[in-house]
Chain A
Amino acid sequence: MSLAALPILVPLAAGALSVAFWRSVAAQRAIALAGTLILLFVSILLMQQVHSEGFVVLHMGGWQAPLGITLAVDMLGAIMVLLTGITGLAIALFSLGDTPERHEKFGYYPLMHLLLAGVAGSFVTGDIFNLYVWFEVMLIASFALLTLGGERAQMEGAIKYVTLNLFSSAIFLSAVGILYGLVGTLNMADIAQKLGQVEDTGMVNVVAVMFMVAFGIKASAFPLFFWLPASYHTPLVGVSALFAGLLTKVGVYSLFRMFTVVFDHDVAYTHTILLWVAALTMLSGVLGAAAQFEFRRILSFHIISQIGYMILGLALYTPLAIIGGVFYIMHHIIVKTTLFLVSGVTYRLTGTHELSELGGFYRERPMLSVLFLIPAFSLAGMPPLSGFFAKLIVIRAGIEAEAWTVTAVALLVGLLTLYSMVKIWAEVFWKARPEAEDGVQRPEPRTEGLVWMYVAITGLAACTIFIGLNGQPIYNLAEVAAEQLMQPQGYIDAVLEGRP
């Protein structure tokens, strides 16, 4: 039996159940834990199924592709779903310890589940309009989570967030419409096949560019990333971490999906644009981070620069580069989530995200320091952590493709990332905490629930070490994913098998 629908249905049901149990926060907490655990379990099962069968296809309602909605999970999809499961569980654990009552009572947990449903839906669907629907689910859920606190800064960030993302949705929807006009179908595999017969490559390129812009906004690529640094530092840390880990990666995933399986007709045009986008995204993100002195804003800008590495993998469009890109996505989701969660602990203990007001954690909390250093050095691409291998593969792909400029940019950005992580380390951990100003009493740190937070962070940190030490199996997964993407015929055949 095909398990493709379960990663959507589990969080969807968990979300609906949580809404139904609105008045019982205790029940919602239990559902949060159970729901994300089951999601992780399901995602592992799905990964196994994809691993053994190659593609897992499910025709919703029994309507064969391309007529109904088809879910189609290839290795890339399965990897992304698995990462969603891991991140979801970590966020749920963290949230159990860190979510204030005011948020818990107003739908925090249901929104979290529904966001996960949207994310998972985007990864498993093989239908371009259905992808749009899951984007909407994600967008509205994330907007709700952003505004849950109702604070002024959150509103400001949320309005920018929702405006620019709605704009992206509008472009996406127009692109879907035009594409439908061009090929008369919504199934991605079918689109891929029919696009091959379209002679008007000019129009195909126009549509491709529209998708690129729409997904580029979602992925926060240059110069479309503004909504991200405007909003990611405002909500609860758990929410930031969930967004940081998964949301932009949905955009990246969609770029990978569309610009391998669907739009491979004029690589010289589309992927050259992507190459420039990748270089500029890496650079602008890391430069943006250099100018920041707020923990989460630094991390937010680094999301952007790291997205550049992933797009670089796609843009180089060689098997090795795609492997690198996929590896990078895997590594990044885990590491970035961890870093945001660490900022949550320091915030809990001090009540601030400003580097100038933080300090002293190296002496006070050596355990936390280690838990920061692992993902931070991993993000900066230091061995033997996951980021090192991710960067190594991408750099190698760049060198072998003789794309010198962009490879040099990637190396330089790696160095600046290291500098940035060290800046946080020196300010937050090494430096002694500055004295409070006269008369201002520091709030007592709230320590209840810290255990949950530590469990989440430790688990994720273990993941980045695990990826580093078990590079080969992970590489194999990425390799399968890349092969499937570079030879889309397998995907197309699997989806359209048995078509009327």
Chain B
Amino acid sequence: MTLLSVVLLPLIGALLVPLLARARSPLIPAIASGIVTLAALSLLLLQAPTVLSGELITSEWAWIPSIGLSIAFRLDALALFFATLITGMGLLIILYAHFYFAGKPGAGRFYALMLAFMGAMLGIVTSENLLFMLIFWEMTSLVSFVLIGFHSDQRPARRGARMTLVITGGGGLALMAGIVLMGSIVGSFNLTDILAAGDELRAHAHYPLILTLVLLGAMTKSAQFPFHLWLPNAMTAPTPVSAYLHSATMVKAGIFLLARLHPALADTDAWLYSVSTVGMATLLTGAFIAMFKHDTKELLAYSTVSHLGLITLLMGLGTATALVAGLFHLLNHALFKAPLFMMAGAVEKATGTRDMRRINGLWRHMPLLTIMSAITAASMAGLPLFNGYLSKKMFFIESLDANVISPLNWLTPVLAAIAGLFSAAYSFRIFHNVFFNGQPRELPVWPPRKPALGIQLPIILLAAGCLFVGWQAEGIVHGLIRAMATASSGVKAPAYDMGQLHHVGPAFYMSLAALIGGLILYALRERLFELYDQLPPADAREIFEWLMTRAGNGAERFVHALENGSVQRYIALIILTAIIMAGPVLANVVWYGAKPMTPADPLTILGAILMMATAFGVVLGHRNRLFALLLLGSAGLFVTLTFARFSAPDLALTQLSVEVIAVIIMMLALSFLPQTTPVESSRLRRSRDSIIAVLGGLGTGLVSFAIMTRPQDSISDFFLEQSVPGGGGSNVVNVILVDFRGFDTLGEITVLGIAAVAVFALTRNLQLKHRIPNERDQYWASNPHPLILRTMARPILPIALMVSAYIFLRGHNMPGGGFIAGLITVVALSLQYMAGGLAWAHDRMLTSFRPLIGGGILLACLTGLGSLFMGLEFLTSWFGHYELPVLGHIELATALLFDLGVFTTVVGATMLILANLGKLMTVNGPGEEIG
């Protein structure tokens, strides 16, 4: 419970602080954040005696047990140390930030993000469950992203933030894969189980993969070569962020992970070589570049990179003493680096710049800060008596003992000394350049403002910490660091021989050489800067952006190659995909079934040939659209004949009415379009397209043939059997439509209704080019409504409506039904339009087409619901036979009501389409809406 509250306190604080940000005094959010942090810190410290005695505190709640995720915490010495560092440093940063932001807007936002970060960071170090830890791991990346982009109106800040997130986020994904892999092998994500399964993991075939993935996560987070590039670019963040996230805490998360997983993954050659090599590369790169940075924060950033490399190197060596040295240096680094960052921030506030070529000789203006920085810089340089000296000397001792590649054993200490030399040089530089080195030059703020005591207070405390650790090194190493090393490696760490730190031996000479060399290097700095300037400039951010732009351009080319806007190409790709996917199995298909073929009579063959000819004609003549449309209509007629030939009168009737209406509608639409289609594609492309089309058509045809020639056993027999006794109608097609599969019909009339609404909306909203009537139009327009047609149309209407009613009523037993009846009505009504004109027809017609559509669908729905009230399933039909006067025997079925819904919708929808398209093409344009 305690651990849960430790993590939750800052997170809840993060949610609440923004509410306080509106408070009148900027002190209030700062104090609130401070209280929360202090509470978490005290809770932690209360556990210290138990934990340092070697006990492990754990607690666990279920979250998603099925994937192995639980809210599980563990607190051992390692976790306690990190947690204390996080909260303790957090407290100082909050104090610092209060003065740093001094009344500026955004401080509330800063505190909230700080607390969120603190909570996430505490979560990482106290998690017992690795998936749970991963959540916090990613959270730190996200919060860090927002914090780096704190000054979001500045482009470098945005770019730096983006780069950081991509690198650390990518590492996080690798870590995720690594953790999942470990969890799958071990069967649990709990650290206790994973750490205990070290031997199994190391022996597993996937060990190299796990190691790579986990290291990728750790290295990106801890800014190891070559992923270190994000850290200097993160310096666009406000200084409290740099001091906290990018020197004391977040960048240590990777190292924490290495220490944490030590029992599971370390002690192999792969670990030794990969981790120590990366550490060494980072150490050298960081130390070298730091020397040449003129910006205080950038220098400190590279120095941080280098120190992180140093600690990683020690983690890689992996011996008990190396572990002690690494963890000790980690403590020292936090103690001396954070105050240096704070100093850089205070100086920037005082002078308006971070450029060390301009800031000089500040000791006159800020003596206290000078003394404090002297302490911390000396510690960083590794001057004797200071804490940094001790851990660095430990490092030298380890480098001398390291047995990396035996013939090259001399290399490690040499490289270590070189790195130490650069490290000393840049430490001298940042201190001497800022506080001495002559007079300030053209400072933006002159005279420098005196830094408030409050902003210097955390620096003083940390400098005192440096001195204290240097003084009480033995107690700290034995009391704290050893317990940490024990918790990390899982094996009780042997006592560290502190005597060798005071011994004058090779390590002492290495330290001495580094210090003297550093001084010399610093003395020669002007020459070195000139040399460095001649190196080709390489700005990581530019490279990153360049890479991203290149990737973006590549992606664009790739996408454009696929997606160029041509519908032909898309369809060609679809057909090709189908052919390629089906290709490998075509050989296994049985192409000819056992069923005997129906004998073909000459008439049928002729019909088939004509049908094919019309279809082929459409393809050939598609450039002349009217011609193509007429041929299409004839192809439809042949389909109708085919239905009739194979005894499907209902289908034939339907097809016929649909063809008529469809051709009329398309004719209307054609009048808005050019009469011919221009030739746009090359001959090559047309040949390509025809090959694809033939292949696709051939395939479909062959497959259909294969299917039709095999014997079949289907549910059709049931429909034939059940039509009369079950559906109450002898027209099986109609019974299927309104009863067996009435639900499909309900869907289809909906489709029709929607289509009508779509056409209506389109004709209202479409902005068409003004049509120029040509001469032919004039000719037709002069005699728009021929007399004979007009005279004939009127008597046809009642007759057609009678036919329609007849077809509708008999539909259940003989060819017909609501759909066909509806279409017949529509044909009759549209004849009135053609004969008399729109205006004439509308004067004499009810035109509420839209309510008809809605009403039709509703009626069909209600018929179905009716059966629910009878306690039957939706759409269950009911029918009965009655003897009525005059009409005689009649059968009434609920299916008839359903069919009436179909009829109504068909009439409403089709009329809505026809009337509006027709209206659109009149000279007056769409005008008032119809329907």
Contact = CB atoms under 8 A, between A and B. Distances in A.
Contact of A400 (B184, B740, B764): B184
Residue picked from B69, B165, B553, B574, most chain A C-beta under 10 Å: B574
A119 to B, nearest CB: 12
Contacts of B556: 290-291
Contacts of B560: 291
A432 B153 contact: yes
Interface string A209-229: 110110011000001101101
B765 interface: yes
Contacts of B177: 395, 399, 407, 411
A141 B756 CA distance: 10
25 contacts: A19-B851, A60-B873, A61-B742, A62-B872, A69-B740, A110-B854, A118-B747, A140-B754, A144-B758, A144-B761, A159-B567, A163-B567, A210-B582, A213-B577, A223-B573, A269-B584, A284-B558, A290-B552, A291-B553, A399-B181, A418-B169, A426-B158, A430-B152, A431-B153, A431-B158
B766 A479 contact: no
Main secondary structure of the interface of B (DSSP, over half): helix
A155 B851 CA distance: 27
Contacts of A13: 858, 861
Interface in B112-151: 131, 134-135, 138-139, 142, 145, 149
A307 interface: no
A185 B715 CA distance: 6
Given A117-B750, A121-B747, A422 B589 contact: no
Contacts of A205: 582, 585, 588
Given A20-B850, A184-B713, A396-B183, 9 more contacts: A63-B740, A137-B754, A150-B766, A160-B567, A178-B703, A184-B712, A200-B588, A430-B158, A475-B64
Residue picked from B131, B712, B718, B744, most chain A C-beta under 10 Å: B744
Contacts of B534: none
Interface in A47-69: 58-63, 66-69
Given A383-B135, A395-B176, A182 B744 contact: no
Contact of B703 (A163, A206, A399, A472): A206
Interface in B154-180: 158, 161-162, 165-166, 169-170, 173-174, 176-177, 180
B588 A209 contact: no
B875 A60 contact: yes
B570 interface: yes
A150 B743 contact: no
B67 A475 contact: yes
Contacts of A384: 135, 139
Contact of A206 (B135, B139, B589): B589
Interface stretch (A32-40, A128-136, A338-346, A442-450): A128-136
A419 interface: yes
Contact of A472 (B62, B153, B748, B757): B62
A224 B577 contact: yes
A436 to B, nearest CB: 18
Interface in B678-707: 700, 703-704, 706-707
A150 B574 CA distance: 28
Contact of B67 (A227, A269, A389, A411): A389
Nearest to A6: B874
A95 to B, nearest CB: 15
B573 A422 contact: no
B821 to A, nearest CB: 21
Contact of B562 (A147, A150, A284, A430): A284
Contact of B173 (A203, A389, A414): A414
The 3 closest A-B pairs by CB, nearest first: A184-B714, A202-B588, A150-B765
A288 B708 CA distance: 43
Contacts of A186: 715
B858 A206 contact: no
A174 B578 CA distance: 13
Interface in A6-20: 9, 12-13, 15-20
Contacts of B865: 9
B547 to A, nearest CB: 11
Interface of A: 2, 5, 9, 12-13, 15-22, 58-63, 66-69, 102, 106-107, 110-111, 114, 117-118, 121, 129-130, 133-134, 136-137, 140-141, 143-144, 147-152, 155, 159-160, 163-164, 167-168, 171, 174, 177-178, 180-186, 200-203, 205-206, 209-210, 212-213, 216-217, 223-224, 226-227, 229-230, 269, 273, 284, 287-288, 290-291, 362-363, 377, 380-384, 388-389, 392-393, 395-396, 399-400, 407, 411, 414-415, 418-419, 422-423, 426, 429-432, 471-472, 475-476, 479
Contact of A110 (B565, B578, B744, B757): B757
Contact of A111 (B706, B757, B867): B757
Given A19-B753, A20-B851, A106 B761 contact: yes
A422 B873 contact: no
Nearest to A471: B64
A217 B67 contact: no
A11 to B, nearest CB: 10
A309 to B, nearest CB: 13
Interface in B554-611: 554-556, 558-560, 562-563, 565, 567, 570-571, 573-574, 577-578, 581-582, 584-590
A60 B865 CA distance: 11
B191 to A, nearest CB: 18
B760 interface: yes
Given A18-B854, A284-B562, A202 B567 contact: no
A333 to B, nearest CB: 20
Contact of B578 (A16, A164, A213, A290): A213
A61 B861 contact: no
Residue picked from A223, A291, A377, most chain B C-beta under 10 Å: A291
A102 B929 CA distance: 13
Contacts of B825: none
Nearest to B552: A290
Contacts of A206: 582, 585-586, 589, 703
Contacts of A476: 66
Interface string B441-458: 000000000000000000
Contacts of B181: 399
B552 to A, nearest CB: 5
A136 B751 contact: yes
A209 B588 CA distance: 14
B88 interface: no
Contacts of A411: 173-174, 176-177
Nearest to B181: A399
A410 B138 CA distance: 17
Contacts of A62: 867, 872-873, 876
Interface in B831-885: 850-851, 853-855, 857-858, 861, 864-865, 867, 872-877
A209 B139 contact: no
Given A206-B582, A287-B558, A61 B743 contact: yes
B67 A273 contact: no
B758 A19 contact: no
Interface string B874-916: 1111000000000000000000000000000000000000000
B701 to A, nearest CB: 11
B67 A393 contact: yes
Contacts of B855: 16, 20
B422 to A, nearest CB: 33
Contacts of B753: 16, 19, 114
B578 A291 contact: no
A475 B66 contact: yes
Contact of A181 (B145, B712, B853, B857): B712
A148 B765 contact: yes
B63 interface: yes
Given A163-B567, A288-B563, A399-B184, A431 B152 contact: yes
A164 B152 contact: no
A284 B740 contact: no
Contacts of B66: 472, 475-476, 479
